Structure 1
């Protein structure tokens, strides 16, 4: 017999289907709308930074081309903190209440947004404050991400969960691109507005969540906190991802830090701790994560496919922004200062494809299961990577837009069915930690993807950019500038493109008037114009970019294979439902391999 669970206000909720909150027919829409606002807000906050960094760095008087460490930590610190906390927060939510910790997370995220808006200092101190306040936001986001899918799974019946999760994820991806547009607009007025935009959503959403969301009537077990499991997982993943981040910074004469002894030690230590985690979890009395959940086919292959999908596409947005802002838009008449905003506009087909297919695929997966929908989705993503890989740097926009649309449709076909299949496959009292594991793998894949793509691009630029630069200067009759212009490091060229800067003007501004006088005015105008630097960068950038896209395609096809191996539709029987019919259920699942 189910026990009644207290609502946030303390009044008991009538018991019903295990893990469900189905007494009020309108409650599921309250849960969907609130979690959708939270996911949208968190996604906007993540992408708005990508576009607004030039204005933010100018606002706190930091030169982004000489402050790579701040740039990387503002970009990647949020993802690192979120990824490392999700699994622990998911287990805590199963123990102490998903809605309760979700509400706390909403409030923490809002406080972080207010602190970012109020950042008091400038210079290095201001940059460090921004990073710390972003970490506060990340803690709140980890509570939100680790509980949103579980709250929706509790609120919706099994035959509507795919649709609900699809709408939720559409809001998340839409938020990424709305953030690009809003960031480009707000940064024109004042950099602080970039952070202020989240505050009203956060305040309203937090109050609404505390008043309206209800704790489900699943039986929470009395457990001890798994100290050793938490230390090994959080410590291992944090150390490993921090090592990845610092590997992207120059070390000595190297353009990257992969040979830095501290980076090597961090990566090794992180891997050892992560290898120790499953061993610890099989030996402690109350494990943070039940390793036997991986015996469930939809759980195991769904999470593996989700990680590979995130690894394939996590760095794509930044790489495409570099391509658009640093090369394509200037070559098509856009000023460097305006490229951040227009990059967001020209990437809209990706959002449109996802918005069209996300809810539709979620509804279809409710009827037919996730196996073939998610498989076809990742195949389409792989095809879109291949199309992008063969485009020249001065491409026509139509094939580029088609490739982005296909990528959006493919990700829409994959994301919500995959999430619904994972969440449906586990018992109600494991949904918090399952949501945490799903989000952990996704966020870790995103951070690793950024490190992987940046490494490929920087290694390629390191070998090709000096030669391309010297050849372009010679062709422009500016050979005397070769020694001085060689001061542009490959990473500087890359981040200049990412931030919408023309570094040539900055380099020339620091040269002696006598040297400048040896160069014809027409040549100087060519060098500082909108065509010369993007064309020079393109020659060194495009081979590495194509390699990144081919690797992304390969990883996507691996994810498609994992999707096909997940088995047919399965809904955990302890949820009050049974497998649809014998032909829809994997024999292993019927025979008891599922965790009940």
Structure 2
């Protein structure tokens, strides 16, 4: 008979495979999705952001609440429910009936529902594995689980590229059979190994305050990326400022309420465990460094490097995913090795070294030219992936091992919340840097290029286009210049010589025009990412010796005798 631990590993791995696959399929297929619902990228920034980030925002808001509920009502039951919700949402996404803005809003809503299901899966998978595997094998199990997730990400890139070229709805349908299989299998095979504590009261005030605080913070950050009036970003928007400040005040109120609650939703006492708190802060800082990196690399490839090397804008989303595979490969290879090593040697040295490697790789990225040699780029991002893989598995095992078994649902929820929150914050920080620098340095660079191309009459029109529009157009697989020209008055468009139009709509003109400003922005973002990774390494190094809760309890009982 197959040992239960392998059943738990295979089922939770199916869940993480589906989650990673779904994320990359959506990322790669966005151009096909937007064309399929007939949405213009120049006036659809908010829909793009919410389709991309709505899932992670909802997951970040719910995972701690779900983790706490799982400690009360049972992790397996909540995990099964997550598979079911995710599958239903995938069906709804496939059936999206509308067109234009209505369809975009429907997609956002269904992605949010999918995020609810994802939060149930994320909050419980690590806890289920930690229960099923003995302490000395948890690093291996969590590492292998992460590697299978990476395989899902690779499958998402390839499958998304194929399905998007056939029919945009199919990119959502592919998750349905996996979801059905996972739902039926988890209901039949997973067992609740630790007895849920039904005597605990549900912390309703804590749940509400925490959810509202994170909603205010993450929504404020998301809209801070968007243009506001004549400003290139929304950080001056009174609603954004009010949302973020109110969120911070609510977080302060949350800490006060939880410290006085008999059965708190957020187990603050976990942070009194040094190994747990150091691991948790390292997760947040590492995600601040790494969370926005992949998106910035995608923008670099799609807006600059791929067009310069002969790829049409329509196919750059798929090829950007292919060219980023070394990043995933580095994580996948080292993730499985590091998990096994952490079971033998502990997490402190491995996780700290991984963060140092990741930060150093980001420093290497600051030296890239816009028309870089791909081998150099591939080796650098592989190096970063290795560092991330060396950090994630041992650090997660360290956090879960230090947590009391009855609170591992809460611990897993806190881990997932810090991961998603850090990633969203990172994207907001990196995007803001890129857009602000482009706003300052981009117009003069583009104006010079327009003059050199004999299109000086277009300078006033191009200067009115916010950098966000150009970047998002390239991200969605549109030639930004063609998209801008389509917005011009007919009298202006007809006055431009065809030779000039041919020049400025070529694959190489826009990348060369925007490259100096864009690379300056990316170098600043990469430098900040490197600094954050090094600070995360300091937090990781301060975790102290490896703590396994079960062994500590046995040791304490022995000493008392």
Give the TM-score of the pair, scaled to structure 2: 0.97
Match of 2:238 in 1: 261
Task: State the alpha-carbon separation in 2 of the partners of residues 517 and 269 from structure 1.
Answer: 50
Task: State the alpha-carbon separation in 2 of the partners of residues 561 and 308 from structure 1.
Answer: 10
| Partners of 1:236 and 1:270 within 8 A in 2 | yes
Task: Indicate the SS of the match to 1:334.
Answer: coil
Task: State the alpha-carbon separation in 2 of the partners of residues 550 and 305 from structure 1.
Answer: 18
| Partners of 2:82 and 2:117 within 8 A in 1 | yes
Match of 1:434 in 2: 411
Task: Indicate the SS of the match to 1:252.
Answer: coil
Task: State the alpha-carbon separation in 1 of the partners of residues 70 and 494 from structure 2.
Answer: 68
Aligned residue runs from structure 1 range 403-422, under 5 A: 403-422=380-399
Specify whether residues 512 and 248 from structure 1 end up closer, same or farther in structure 2 by C-alpha distance, changes over 3 A only: closer
Task: State the alpha-carbon separation in 2 of the partners of residues 506 and 221 from structure 1.
Answer: 58
Do structure 1's residue 299 and structure 2's residue 276 form an aligned pair? yes
Report the alpha carbon displacement of residue 46 of structure 1 after superposing the two structures with TM: 1.6
Report the alpha carbon displacement of residue 57 of structure 1 after superposing the two structures with TM: 0.9
Match of 1:312 in 2: 289
Match of 2:259 in 1: 282
Do structure 1's residue 365 and structure 2's residue 342 form an aligned pair? yes
Report the alpha carbon displacement of residue 216 of structure 1 after superposing the two structures with TM: 0.7
Task: State the alpha-carbon separation in 2 of the partners of residues 133 and 302 from structure 1.
Answer: 33
Specify whether residues 513 and 97 from structure 1 end up closer, same or farther in structure 2 by C-alpha distance, changes over 3 A only: closer
| Partners of 2:473 and 2:483 within 8 A in 1 | no
Segments of 5+ residues of structure 2 without an aligned counterpart are none
Match of 1:178 in 2: 155
Task: State the alpha-carbon separation in 2 of the partners of residues 280 and 38 from structure 1.
Answer: 34
Report the alpha carbon displacement of residue 575 of structure 1 after superposing the two structures with TM: 8.0
Do structure 1's residue 424 and structure 2's residue 401 form an aligned pair? yes
Match of 1:13 in 2: none
Task: State the alpha-carbon separation in 2 of the partners of residues 574 and 471 from structure 1.
Answer: 68
Specify whether residues 132 and 518 from structure 1 end up closer, same or farther in structure 2 by C-alpha distance, changes over 3 A only: closer
Give deviations 1:150-177, integer Å, cap 9, x for gaps: 0000000111100000011122233334
Match of 1:110 in 2: 87
Task: Indicate the SS of the match to 1:390.
Answer: coil
Report the alpha carbon displacement of residue 503 of structure 1 after superposing the two structures with TM: 2.0
Task: State the alpha-carbon separation in 2 of the partners of residues 309 and 343 from structure 1.
Answer: 23
| Partners of 1:52 and 1:183 within 8 A in 2 | yes
Report the alpha carbon displacement of residue 516 of structure 1 after superposing the two structures with TM: 4.7
Task: Indicate the SS of the match to 2:366.
Answer: helix
Segments of 5+ residues of structure 1 without an aligned counterpart are 1-23, 580-589
Do structure 1's residue 446 and structure 2's residue 423 form an aligned pair? yes
User: RMSD value over aligned CA atoms?
Assistant: 1.8
Report the alpha carbon displacement of residue 70 of structure 1 after superposing the two structures with TM: 0.8
Match of 1:4 in 2: none
Give the TM-score of the pair, scaled to structure 1: 0.91
| Partners of 2:83 and 2:179 within 8 A in 1 | yes
Report the alpha carbon displacement of residue 523 of structure 1 after superposing the two structures with TM: 2.5
Give deviations 1:163-200, integer Å, cap 9, x for gaps: 00001112223333432232222110111011001001
Report the alpha carbon displacement of residue 291 of structure 1 after superposing the two structures with TM: 1.3
Report the alpha carbon displacement of residue 221 of structure 1 after superposing the two structures with TM: 5.0
Do structure 1's residue 526 and structure 2's residue 503 form an aligned pair? yes
Specify whether residues 366 and 523 from structure 1 end up closer, same or farther in structure 2 by C-alpha distance, changes over 3 A only: same
Deviates more, 1:66-75 or 1:108-117: 66-75
Aligned residue runs from structure 1 range 425-504, under 5 A: 425-504=402-481
Q: 1:161 aligns with which of 138, 143, 149?
A: 138
| Partners of 2:74 and 2:196 within 8 A in 1 | no
Report the alpha carbon displacement of residue 384 of structure 1 after superposing the two structures with TM: 0.7
Report the alpha carbon displacement of residue 235 of structure 1 after superposing the two structures with TM: 0.9
Q: 1:384 aligns with which of 361, 370, 374?
A: 361
Task: State the alpha-carbon separation in 1 of the partners of residues 519 and 448 from structure 2.
Answer: 17
Report the alpha carbon displacement of residue 206 of structure 1 after superposing the two structures with TM: 0.4
Q: Aligned residue pairs: how many? A: 559
Match of 2:209 in 1: 232
